Structures are given as structure tokens and as C-alpha cells.
Structure 1
């Protein structure tokens, strides 16, 4: 290496623009092709030259252009995290809790694999403008049977992984969110706390979590000699839909003493409806919900809920998507840890926080 080049590397010009690959080649005394091969560990470059090029690049402060890499490879090195839930459920008082809890872990996991994560927030209705995103793949949270976003991504030929199985679409890899186990956990807890007339409120949309919850509830009722009491609410109505569904349910079945409202927004609305009828939670009706988020914790009384281990789910979703980005032979499903109950005042359990 020449004295001039050594001096330049040690004392770069104060206002000089970011070094280019040509600067590295000139300083190392090699071609730009050799620099590219050496820095990317590709092609034939002898070890001594490879190390000299890397040291030169470090000394100059050279960083590869992500834009140039994208133009050369056609890859964006970016994945999207998409909420299939509408804003009324995923947003509002929960402050996107479920989505943000998944996103925090997924973003970190993606970064360790050289991927950036784009968070696509829920919308009021309809398909998201995904064609505007330059992405290599996506994770979709709890898609419906006819989820337009999954269909669009598959039509583009992009790898898709779902957090929760997509009903009727066996071609989409998924992380199992244990909907049956979660429902059984909540129902058994209500029964253990003395509830003998337990009702279920689920969403009207065709999500696998609702399908599995209904089936689990019907099995539970059959096993305990209960007549099923199921109310369905539209997700777009948020807490108000839960309140109306619960109010109608109590008018028709005033003897209900336990309520499993799978969606946290529906559960909060149900607590309001129970209070409006002059009943008390948990003295008259015990209430439980699925997601242990902001709504469950801030409700009065606080709601018994479930720790879904979203950090494990998010990590597994990124790993599964990464496997499918690298190969079409990745697994079709993975199983995170089983959910655990978080007991609070709404179910009247002794020692609840």
C-alpha cells in the first residue's frame, strides 16, 4: 500500500462524502470487482488480498450501499408485519398492544437475520395497499378465511407466514396460537370458580381462533351438562359491539353467571353491559378474556386473561418466514409454549391481583 493511501486512510478529509467501492479499490490497489468479492466472501480472492481489502474498507469507513445491493439482487431484505384485525379491535384503548407486542420481538429477530421489518397498522376496512411496499415476505396476524391481504401476497409470489392458522388454506405456514387450549383454560377456570351457566362471546369473522373456541366451548358444555349460550359480535363494532352482544345475551339468559369473551374489546364492553343491568363483576357474573393486554389490565375490575407468550410466537414467526425466504422446504407449522392463565379480580379468584 502506498504512503499516500496510508495517509489518506488515517486522516480522511473532514467533509468528504461517504467512501465508495472505487475508493476502497484504489486504496487497496485492486479492482472494484475484487473488492466486491472480498467483502461479500464470493468469487476467488486469495486470503491475504481478502483481508487487506476488508481492513482497507474498515479504515476508510466504507459501508455497502443497501440500495445498490437491492438493485443488483432484486431483493428488498424487508418483511412486513400485518394485522388482519380491524382498527376497532387492534387499536383504540389497547394502543395496538397485541400488534406492538409482536412487532417489538419480530423487529429484533428480523434484524439479526439482515431483514428490516415494516409494521403495517390495521385499517378501518378492506385490503391494505400492499403493492406500495417493497417487501420480500410478510407475517399476517390471525387471517380470516377469505383474507384479501394473504391472497394478494400469494398472488405476488411472496412467502407468507400467519400467526394463527388461516382457515381453509393449508398452503400458508403458520404459528399455532393454541386457540383450543386457551379457551379450555378460561372455561375450566370459570368452572373452578363456581360458574355453572357459562356463555361465550366470539367474533362474527371466520378466524381460526373463533372456530376453535366455539368447538372447545361446545365440547366443554357437553362434558358438564350445560346448554351452549353463544353470542356473536362484529369486530368492527369494537367495545360497543361487545356491550350490545352481552346485553342481548343477558336478556335472553338472565341466569348466566360466567362469561368468556374471547376478544378483549368485547370483554370490556360486556363488563359495561353487566353493570347497566345492575349486576356486579365478579359477584354475579365472572368475566374472562383471551389477550392479557392494556384493555384487560385497565378494565374495572381488571380482567382475568391469558399470557399467550407472544414473544415466543413472534420469534417463531420470523424464523419460519426466514426459512421460507431461503427455501421452499420450510416447516408448515410450529408450536409455541402453551398459554398460561393470568388471574385477576373479574373472575373472583382468591388472591387475584
Structure 2
């Protein structure tokens, strides 16, 4: 290239990305003042801030986010994960629960200039959580003294829960209204002529399970029946629920309705009923909690838990916590029932 072929100085400036030093030189200020004016980290008078912003816009200056994060230690990322074990959270149907929440959470996070990191259910345990970096975290339905929550708290990661944590007060949370959800389903099953209602729920100390038990107790208190309850270890998944439902049905031949609070458990309960020759819904009416793929593909009555709204509320709550606030719980919307064949009432 000859000397005359070299690009002019204005062209070189157009090709080269403008730096904060270029902005500082153009306004005759220090780079520290320019940085504070653009970031808002330290107070700068309004006239100076506006002058710096105009100069930055004229030069086409864009902050180097990676460099800023290296200086501040921020990742501009929040993580969302489920504390449910892999046996019930790892399948494609149960993962839909987490994905529905994550979709709305990601949209709300972007509005706050944050990215969302989805942590899949961990078959190998919570130790893997130690390998990622995020500015905050949302945990879905934590159990009592959840090890994943304890690990992230020990690292000082701000955190909120979707679902009331156990013990209450251990995390700011979005109230999913688990009791109300269970009541909606159980009141639907308790139709005139229903003799006995059974309950299958998780054995772990998780608010969703214990709320289902409380709602069940309140519903059957007005019926002439004793509790018919099976608590299933979440780690056992669908197969453990199938065996528990089979034993429950055989021990209580008058039972003609069943609420199964975990959707994968409900599929196992359906299998048990059919193995024993019980027609659904003719002989046994059934409903579950989450209206996901398991419910839809098995014609199960289920609840629309309004997960998109819960995800957005959780991000708002986490932003408050990350800003140093101690916010009150946010209350989610009332779940609504999606009625399918599994709970249809036979004609009289």
C-alpha cells in the first residue's frame, strides 16, 4: 500500500472503537469523572453528566461490559434452579415446570439488563453449583435446610425462593399459594356422592407437600372418612408412586377419588389403577397439581399455577434483595383448574 492509499485519520477513528479516554479528552476531564458520569457509581453534577453523555454519543462510545465486570466482580447474571431431586425434576415433563418459570423470568431479567442462567436438575448433587458465578439466584420450591441454598448462601449470593421456604424466614419468597391450589383441586374432587378421597404427596419437608396435606385434612373433615394418605420419597419418582398408589387402592376399596400433588406421581398412580382394573374416571377420579406435559398427555385434570407470573415476581423480588432491601413476600395469583377426563363425573 502506498502512502496515498493509507486511510485518513477520520477513517481510522471511525474504524477504531472509541474509548473512555477519547471521551475524556474531548471534554477535557479525567477518565474517573467520565466513568462516574456514565455509570452513576459516584455523584456528578447534572451539567457535567449531560456534557459527558453527549460527547460519548457523538463519538459512538459504548462501555466495555466485560472490563467493567472484571473490575466490579459482577456477572450481570442471575441463576434459576430447582431443588427438586433429579428423579422428579429431570424428566422432560417435570423440567417444563422450571422452563415455564424461567421463560418469564428471563424476559423480566433482560428488562433489568441482566441475563438468566438456567441450572438444570442436578443428578450429581448440589456440588456443581459451586462452579458457576452469578450475581443472584432464584431457587424453585426449596425444601427444609436445602443444601443448594446453604451452599450459595455460604458464598454470599443474594437469593429468593419461588414457594414458601422451610423454615419460613430463611429466604425472601414468592408465595405460590400451594394450599389454595390444593383446595381448588380437592374441592373439585369432592362432588356429591364422593365416598372417600385419597392423597399422594411427597415425603420431603417441602411447603408444597405439607400445604397439600393441610388442605386435604380440611376437605375431608366434612366427610365421613379417615385420612387415606401415602407419602412418597421424591427420589423414587414415578415407580415409587405407582407402588404407593397400588397399596393405597388395595387397602381402601371404597376410595373413589385421589389428589396426587406431583404430576409424575400422578402418572404412576394412573398406572397402578389400571393394573388393578379400575376405570378412570368411572371408578377412580384423579387430579394433580401442575398442568404440564404429564397432565396433558395423560388426560389428567390439573392446575394452571400461573408460573409465568411467578417467574416475573421472583425477578422483581431478587432485584430488591440485590439492591440491599429486605422485602416482604410477594403473593402470586390464585391457580385455576383445567378439567380433563380423569376427573369427569359419571352420569347418574
Q: TM-score, normalised by structure 2?
A: 0.90
Q: 2:342 aligns with which of 336, 340, 346?
A: 346
Looking at structure 2, the residues matched to 260 and 129 of structure 1 have their Cα atoms a distance apart, in angstroms, of 34
**What are the superposed Cα offsets for residues 269-322 of structure 1, whole Å, 9 maximum, x if unpaired?**
1111111111111111111000011111111xx111111111111111111111
> RMSD of the TM alignment (CA)?
2.3
Does the alignment pair 1:327 with 2:329? no
1:337 corresponding residue in structure 2: 333
1:202 corresponding residue in structure 2: 201
1:222 corresponding residue in structure 2: 221
The secondary structure found in structure 1 opposite 2:277 is coil
Per the TM alignment, residue 234 of structure 1 is displaced from its structure 2 partner at its CA by 1.8
1:242 corresponding residue in structure 2: 241
The secondary structure found in structure 1 opposite 2:123 is coil
1:317 corresponding residue in structure 2: 314
Whether contact under 8 Å (2:138, 2:161) holds in the other structure is: yes
Does the alignment pair 1:12 with 2:9? no
Whether contact under 8 Å (1:37, 1:45) holds in the other structure is: no
Does the alignment pair 1:36 with 2:56? no
Whether contact under 8 Å (1:190, 1:258) holds in the other structure is: yes
Looking at structure 2, the residues matched to 237 and 94 of structure 1 have their Cα atoms a distance apart, in angstroms, of 16
Per the TM alignment, residue 39 of structure 1 is displaced from its structure 2 partner at its CA by 1.7
**What are the superposed Cα offsets for residues 194-238 of structure 1, whole Å, 9 maximum, x if unpaired?**
432110000111101111111221222222122111012122222
Whether contact under 8 Å (2:163, 2:208) holds in the other structure is: yes
2:285 corresponding residue in structure 1: 286
Whether contact under 8 Å (2:273, 2:279) holds in the other structure is: yes
**What are the superposed Cα offsets for residues 172-191 of structure 1, whole Å, 9 maximum, x if unpaired?**
11111111111111111011
Looking at structure 2, the residues matched to 313 and 294 of structure 1 have their Cα atoms a distance apart, in angstroms, of 19
The secondary structure found in structure 2 opposite 1:162 is strand
The secondary structure found in structure 1 opposite 2:122 is coil
Per the TM alignment, residue 92 of structure 1 is displaced from its structure 2 partner at its CA by 1.5
Change (3 A) 1:36 1:210: same
Per the TM alignment, residue 111 of structure 1 is displaced from its structure 2 partner at its CA by 1.7
Whether contact under 8 Å (2:200, 2:260) holds in the other structure is: yes
The secondary structure found in structure 1 opposite 2:221 is helix
Aligned residues: 339
Whether contact under 8 Å (2:94, 2:292) holds in the other structure is: no
Looking at structure 1, the residues matched to 244 and 189 of structure 2 have their Cα atoms a distance apart, in angstroms, of 20
1:161 corresponding residue in structure 2: 160
Whether contact under 8 Å (2:238, 2:268) holds in the other structure is: yes
Q: 1:306 aligns with which of 303, 328, 338?
A: 303
Change (3 A) 1:51 1:135: same
Whether contact under 8 Å (1:86, 1:125) holds in the other structure is: no
The secondary structure found in structure 1 opposite 2:118 is strand
Whether contact under 8 Å (1:308, 1:338) holds in the other structure is: yes
Give the alignment of 1:129-208 within 5 angstroms: 129-192=128-191, 194-208=193-207
1:255 corresponding residue in structure 2: 254
Per the TM alignment, residue 76 of structure 1 is displaced from its structure 2 partner at its CA by 2.8
Looking at structure 2, the residues matched to 130 and 30 of structure 1 have their Cα atoms a distance apart, in angstroms, of 44
Whether contact under 8 Å (2:287, 2:302) holds in the other structure is: yes
Question: Structure 1 residue runs of 4+, over 6 Å off?
Answer: none
Whether contact under 8 Å (2:195, 2:254) holds in the other structure is: no
The secondary structure found in structure 2 opposite 1:12 is helix
- For structure 1, the residue ranges without an aligned partner over 5 or more in a row are none
Whether contact under 8 Å (1:193, 1:349) holds in the other structure is: no
1:65 corresponding residue in structure 2: 64
Whether contact under 8 Å (2:181, 2:303) holds in the other structure is: yes
1:88 corresponding residue in structure 2: 87
